[in-house]
Amino acid sequence: MSAFKYRPGIGAVGSYQVSGLPYITGSTSLAAGAEDQVQFTRVAKTVLVINDSSEDIRVHFNATGSGNVVGGKHYVTLTSNRDSIEMGIRCKEIYISNPGASSASYTVFAELTGIETREMNELTGSGLTE
């Protein structure tokens, strides 16, 4: 008789039903024209991004240099101080870019699952990079 050991996986519903592990990060000096990659330690189930400055910031799932992220408007713009977006999504990373002329700041809060990031597929294709 073999013993089955349950482990969290990308298709395991229970991983998304339990409370997530907290993850908070941010930047107080995202330079004009710069981009930050926020990599989570586990697959996220919810992500909240808050613009902490008066400069616009963009939130997207791929680097601006990959595919048609900027030209295809595959991003969400947070326009004012304390503007935010909460996304109930699974991902292992997000990107924050600053299209403005002066530095910007932001905060990222995520609820992380127990799923390892290596199990998450790359987010590309229609609506993301094409």
H-assigned helices in the chain: 14-17
How do residues 28-79 score in pLDDT, each as one tens digit? 999 999 999 999 999 999 999 999 999 999 999 999 998 899 999 999 999 9
The closest alpha carbon to 20, from 89, 100, 96, belongs to 89
Rg (CA), the chain: 16
Kindly state whether residue 124 falls inside one of the protein's structural domains: no
**Stronger pLDDT, 3 or 60, i.e. the higher one:** 60
The verdict on residue 109 lying in a domain is yes
DSSP string, 7-18: ---TT-THHHHS
Q: Does any domain span residue 126?
A: no
Is 8 inside any structural domain? no
The CATH number that applies at residue 42 is 2.60.120.10
Structure tokens at 90: 């699974």
Structurally, how many domains does the chain consist of?
A: 1
Residue 96 lies in a domain: yes
Query: What pLDDT, on the 0 to 100 scale, is given for residue 2?
Result: 67
Is there a domain that residue 68 lies in? yes
Range of the domain at 75: 17-117
Q: Which long-range contacts (CB under 8 A, 24 or more apart) does 67-73 make?
A: 67/124, 67/128, 67/129, 67/130, 68/129, 68/130, 69/128, 69/129, 72/127, 72/129, 72/130
In a domain, 10, yes or no: no
pTM: 0.92
Return d(Cα 11, Cα 66) in angstroms, integer. 27
Tell me the longest C-alpha to C-alpha distance in the chain: 65
